[in-house]
Amino acid sequence: MSDYVQTDPVQAPAAEGTSSYAPANGSAPGLRFSRYFSKPGVNPFDEVQWELRDAVIQDWKGRLVFEQKNVEVPTDWSVTATNIVASKYLHGQVGTPEREKGVRDLISRVAESIRDWGLRDGYFASHEDADIFFNELTHLLVNQKVAFNSPVWFNVGCDRLEPNSDAQNWHWDAQQGKVLFSVTGYSRPQCSACFINSVNDSLDSILTLAKTEGMLFKWGSGAGSNLSAIRGSMETLSGGGTASGPLSFMRGFDAFAGVIKSGGKTRRAAKMVVLNIEHPDIEDFIECKVKEERKAWTLMAAGYDGSGPDSEAFTSIFFQNANNSVRVNDEFMQAVVNDGIFTTLTVKDKAPVKEYKARDLMHKLAEATWQCGDPGMQYDTTINRWHTSKNTARINASNPCSEYMFLDDSACNLASFNLMKFLTPGGQFDVPAYRHGIAIVTTAMEIIVDAAGYPTEMIAKNSHDYRPLGLGYANLGALLMDRGLPYDSDAGRAYAATLTAILCGDAYAQSARLAASSPTLGAATPLTVSNGVHGGACPGFYVNREPFLNVIRMHRAEVNNIDRELKPAHDSAYTDAAGFIAPQLADLKAASQDAWDTALALGEQHGYRNSQVTVLAPTGTIGFMMDCDTTGIEPDLALVKYKKLVGGGMIKIVNNTVPGALFKLGYSDSEVQGIVNYIDATGTIEGAPSLKPEHLAVFDCSFKPAKGTRTISWLGHVKMMAATQPFLSGAISKTVNLPNDCTVQDIADAYTESWRLGLKAVAIYRDGSKGTQPLNVSAQTDADKKGTAVDATKVDATELTAALSALSTEQQKAFALEQQLVAVQTQLNELANSANNNADNLDAQAPPRAVRHRLPGERASITHKFGIGGHEGYITVGLYPNGQPGEIFIRMAKEGSTISGLMDSFATAISLALQHGVPLKVLCEKFAHTRFEPSGWTGNEQIGYAKSIMDYLFRWMQLRFLSGQQLDLFAGLGAPVQSALPSAGSVISTEARALAGAVERPAFGTTAAYGDQSISATDPWHNAPGEPLHTDRNPPQQGIAPDLSARSGTATPNPLSVEDRGIMGVHAATEMGKLYEMGDSPSCSTCGAIMTRNGSCYRCMECGSTSGCS
């Protein structure tokens, strides 16, 4: 038991974050705080070292997206954290006196505002307690131990900087004891990231929902709704006629979200649409995204751009701006298990509409998920079983990421801890610090509730009456690896469960302390309470006392189900080297029991200030702010990442959790160094010297490395969610990853197992599903052989897919390649036409025709072997005397005559284009990043993941033959090699080109010039004998390359200019994405970098933008 948690809330002396619970004359005493992190008379900011940095973000072409010079940041904050905070959260116009100067200004604005609100609303026993609270909160924030959700950073305290804002909203007025609507500006800021909106079966309600969502998107929040109250498309209207159905209105909602996505103030729109399984339109809902995406594929086959969600093809279709989820009950899931019948019902009178075999409906759902990643699934019976406010209403929907699930017309403000920041220097998890932080942050989030503004009257009322909070954490995956615990193991799950149990139990305990020590809250909505509202608990508690306490008891009982043994599954060497893990797990178990015992005891006496307290959010942007290695509950994505450096550029690093885990597993210094260097060289730990096979599972990640075979199974993801779900008020935002070759039945099994294990919701992602296109067939019949072509767009994709299922995997791959090349020919036609020298196609008004420049009879050439997703091939590039490419030949191994013919034709068209003067740059820009199968990892470390053969070939030619900025759009990272590259107009001998080609990134183990210095190609992670291991806890910090002064005695290189930083560092995100990028990842709408999956959303590794709501 910690020293600040009381066992006797009435008689025990006030301790950390608590008050004495015998208020005189019924008055609220306020909370009393003592110091744990801060020191008397010492400003927490003064305990941190600071420096000035330039925050710079460029787009994929190296163009400046954002720049702010001399941003004040703590020295141990990364460059990424600096860029994200400066570009997203600092308030005011850049270059004006009103602009915030850095992290000190930002945290002061937020923490001071919360402290002042707490004083105004009676939360503190004294001004001294308020100041202690402020210092403790400031310490947590500036040391990256916790972060609030983005709207808090966007809006809180901005009334000091922008006092004349005319923003209007609904808010609680304590003096009048009711919700009011008025012009409040930033004095009543929107602070919640998550909203759930209601909708009724009336046009007025439907249109109101569109307005409400639009305003939420404008201010940087996400919203979800359940549309099951809208009558089905075959139901009758009272005035005659037939209802439109929810999908018709979804088109309108989708259009608004798309508009605001591109024009919103702070972020892309995040939206969730839910429909109940018994709704008569459920089949159309399940298939709506698949059908729309088929239209996009047809447009792409016709030559329209389909490279991302903002491309022509995808902006021309519906349902692309929301996550869809089907809400199922136990009745349906039991029917699936028993192969029973399930009946859909009318909305108005619950009359039967259609009978389905439950497994058929599940198969349709799984098939849609297999094809496009939607819909997900929410388990209605489980959700409402754990509902604290059952007497008020059911839970019908969630926020876009599915972690916040509560009443309709409600909001939740989020905050997340960085678990790695609670490790002591000795490697122990600091349980007292963690529990103290929970008390501080829960108080801060509670203070925000009534100080904030809300978009509608009902959301403002429910926020006041029920006061849900969303406290969570990030960096769990990194913490488990650092502990030497496999993510997919009983010990790993037990560790995560105890941390989650402590989080939720202590948050509820603090909520009960708040109820005992804070002023009584008048109800915003008339409540039917037998004994009236007579304390500081939320008004909703008095309506739901028994169901509320029953849920708390359910949480408490689940603590006993955490693995009783809690023994790490390692060998004796591990136990000897890291024996502290097992005792610590036992300590965590004891702390979680204490937390829930306290929460129940205090709640039974005083009630709770908050109806919900915890969720596990994806922590997209705030994860960058806290320099988290992993987000939310997710495991690590890869063992190798790229880290930005001050002054620009990046360095390749092995995760700092890897050596930490290896030491805990009992490996020696030399063994650890050898393993880390092996990972650096290969990108995988498989086959590393000295590594024991039984330890491989510790280093498993979400995605299989390019040169490895191991990854965390979908069941491993589901089991981790199941281990933590019993200790959360809400749910978990997480995507369960399945491999590209999984079956529809695999996805159905994952949905069923998630229900069996007690999850509230699950989103499943099949690797590459967004990139899967129907085969655009130009079928050959007898008539075709006579010259009559069949229109590819008229072939039914469903029938074709069914027919292809009988083919072997290799036949399918070959057939897919053949048909996708047909679509590529459309783009080639444009280029070929521009290079055509047929005089009949010219007229007097046209520009002069291009002249063909043939290559000499004898010419040098370069042949390059490549492999993509199991398909191998060769490209030979013929060179002009000046070393520039003038023709290409492509040969695919084992692909058959049809594909060989198509590739020959493609190569001929490109060769003609080159010989007629079409710049290689134009061709590369046209064909790089085109998407179709086969796609996959390549053996080329400079390219990594290729979205198609065309993508690989043109990115390779870009690397090989173009210099300067164009090269670095796709180049590998590391030290600059521009000084070694030829200028665009230079002439290189034919012999030199033939033997070595244009200068590339140096091969492994060689050196490249950098100014007057030389650096290893494996630098900065090639460790010379006797040198310390490089991890991201001690990376080189100077300039754009490692500090070589200690190694060579030479001066540190000068930082690059902003323009050069754009050239070398513009694709941190794309390069990091090579390690774990999936084929469907969209490009960032802000900077153009390739995004990566984050829970059920995406986030940009370059600028921090997210498609979610945290």
Indicate which residues carry an active-site annotation: 399, 401, 403
CA distance 194 to 213: 11
Determine contact, residues 600/552, Cβ cutoff 8 Å: yes
283, burial (CB in 10 Å: exposed 0-12, middle 13-18, buried 19+): middle
737: number of Cβ within 10 Å? 23
CA distance 247 to 282: 10
Determine contact, residues 409/231, Cβ cutoff 8 Å: no
3-state secondary structure 785-846: HCCCCCCHHHCCHHHHHHHHCCCCHHHHHHHHHHHHHHHHHHHHHHHHHHHCCCHHHCCCCC
Total length of the chain: 1110
Q: Which amino acid is at 374?
A: D
CA distance 521 to 173: 11
561: number of Cβ within 10 Å? 10
Q: Mind giving me the DSSP string for 46-70?
A: GGS-EEEEEEEEE-TTS-EEEEEEE
**Comparing C-alpha atoms, which of 768, 785, 777, 781 is closest to residue 803?**
777
CA distance 423 to 421: 6
Terminal Cα-to-Cα distance of the chain (whole angstroms): 33
Question: Which pairs from 428-434 meet CB under 8 Å and 24+ separation?
Answer: 428/580, 428/584, 429/479, 429/499, 429/584, 429/588, 431/2, 431/502, 431/587, 431/588, 431/591, 432/2, 432/3, 432/4, 432/36, 433/36, 433/37, 434/499, 434/502
SS3 155: helix
Q: What are phi and psi of 185, to 5 degrees?
A: 60, -140
Q: What are phi and psi of 209, to 5 degrees?
A: -60, -40
Q: Mind giving me the DSSP string for 566-612?
A: ---S--HHHHHHSTTHHHHHHHHHHHHHHHHHHHHHHHHHH--S-S-
240: number of Cβ within 10 Å? 6
SS3 1093: strand
Q: How far is CA 367 from the centre of its chain?
A: 24
Determine contact, residues 688/677, Cβ cutoff 8 Å: no
Pairing state of beta strands 410-418 and 194-197?
antiparallel
CA distance 371 to 772: 7
Q: Which amino acid is at 704?
A: K
Given CA atoms 1070, 1075, 1080, 1084 in this order, what sign does their dihedral have? negative
The greatest distance separating any two alpha carbons of the chain, rounded to the nearest whole angstrom, comes to 104
Structure tokens of 172? 């609680």
Q: Mind giving me the DSSP string for 1014-1060?
A: EEETTTTS-PPTTPPPPBTTS---STTS---HHHHSPPPPPPPPHHH
SS3 696: helix
Pairing state of beta strands 341-345 and 650-654?
unpaired
